């Protein structure tokens, strides 16, 4: 990393049940040992995180998001189309953006990427005009994300499995209407509509195993209606991306997706609510510069 590069560490103190906040002293020690000039700011909200990222970019500092994927998406969105540079230290529950990029999932180990990594221009997604870095989805996932965000019983990655099991009990199939790139229109009765900028979500679930952060496209995945027991057996295969072999799973690619449904759904992206249906989801090519492993 060039000598003049300085770090603005943007910390979500509540990420991962306080994991990121507890790790700040060790991260600062790693920076100091490497001779990295840095400041530390703790966020009060995602909007505050965006303000901190904008300020860091204006000062020529690397805006390092230390929290979950929601924080990474907020910081990336603030840097979109600027000369600002994004760094990532995983401190949330899922940390899927770091996982896909090959960044170590232990925060102190991940500090080494900030010193030895290279900058790459990566795509963002945008749903309802709001940016995200990973995966946007709706339908069954809407229920699961809400349950995962509300629960205090289960911690870590297991919260997503818990949420899926609870959500499945009361789930009934929805009818979705999809329009891809303003041309291909089709309807689906089933579980989910997924617009993937990246490969993984939910703490290591490779929902779109062939998605790329550098192709300017979304992988649009749908899961059609099937018996709940069969869907339950499908879930473990998502962790290795093998679900895409099933007949009920379809993957298409598009620059833009319009999706609506026969009942209200909230679309979630990077673990947070991002838009109500109907919504337009777009790929934003080469939108932000990110420090990634060599």
142-161: pLDDT as tens digits:
998 898 888 776 665 677 77
Distance in angstroms (rounded) separating the CA atoms of residues 175 and 158: 29
Nearest in space to 260 (alpha carbons), one of 208, 193, 168: 193
pLDDT reading at 197 higher than 50: yes
The whole-number pLDDT of residue 157 equals: 62
* Helical spans, DSSP H, in the chain: 19-33, 46-58, 69-79, 96-101, 107-116, 140-150, 158-170, 228-234
Q: Would you say residue 128 has pLDDT above 80?
A: yes
Percentage of the chain exceeding pLDDT 90: 83
Catalytic residue among 123, 141, 143, 272: 272
Separation in Å, CA 6 to CA 114, 260, 278: 10, 44, 42
Tokens at 214, concatenated? 């550098």
According to the model, what pLDDT value does residue 159 have? Answer: 77
Tokens of 57: 């970019």
Residue 150: predicted pLDDT: 83
pLDDT in tens, 46-59: 999 999 999 999 99
Band of pLDDT at residue 215, cut at 50, 70 and 90: very high
How far is it, in rounded angstroms, from Cα 134 to Cα 124? 8
The pTM of the full predicted model, rounded to 2 decimals, is: 0.91
Question: Per DSSP, what are the bridge partners of residue 189?
Answer: 175
Mean pLDDT calculated for residue range 3-22: 87
Give the position of tokens 């909200």: 45
CA of 244: how far to CAs of 190, 240, 251, 256, 258, in Å?
15, 10, 7, 21, 22
Check if 270 is active-site. no
Cβ partners under 8 Å of residue 112, min gap 6 = 104
Q: Average pLDDT, stretch 100-115?
A: 95
Average pLDDT for the chain: 93
pLDDT at 155: 62
């Amino acid at each position: 990393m060039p000598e003049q590069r300085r770090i603005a560490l943007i910390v979500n103190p509540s990420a991962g049940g306080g994991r990121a906040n507890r790790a700040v002293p060790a991260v600062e020690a790693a920076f100091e040992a490497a001779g990295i000039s840095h400041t530390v700011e703790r966020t009060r909200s995602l909007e505050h995180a965006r303000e901190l990222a904008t300020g860091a970019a204006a000062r020529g500092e690397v805006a390092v998001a230390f929290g979950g994927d929601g924080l990474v998406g907020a910081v990336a969105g603030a840097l979109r189309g600027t000369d600002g540079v994004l760094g990532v230290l995983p401190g949330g529950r899922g940390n899927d953006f770091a996982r896909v990029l090959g960044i170590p999932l232990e925060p102190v180990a991940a500090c080494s990427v900030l010193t030895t990594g290279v900058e790459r221009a990566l795509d963002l997604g945008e749903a309802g005009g709001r940016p995200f870095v990973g995966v946007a989805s709706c339908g069954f996932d809407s229920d699961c994300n809400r349950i995962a965000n509300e629960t205090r019983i289960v911690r870590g990655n297991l919260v997503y499995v818990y949420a899926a099991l609870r959500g499945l009990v009361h789930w009934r199939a929805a009818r979705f209407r999809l329009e891809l790139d303003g041309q291909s229109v089709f309807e689906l009765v089933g579980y989910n509509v997924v617009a993937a900028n990246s490969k993984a979500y939910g703490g290591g679930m490779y929902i779109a195993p062939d998605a790329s952060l550098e192709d300017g496209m979304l992988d649009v995945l749908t899961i059609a209606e099937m018996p709940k027991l069969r869907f339950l057996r499908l879930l473990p295969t998502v962790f290795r991306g093998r679900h895409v072999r099933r007949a009920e799973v379809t993957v298409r690619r598009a620059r833009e997706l319009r999706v609506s449904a026969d009942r209200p759904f909230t679309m979630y992206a990077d673990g947070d609510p991002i838009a109500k249906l109907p919504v337009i989801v777009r790929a934003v090519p080469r939108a932000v510069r990110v420090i990634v492993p060599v």
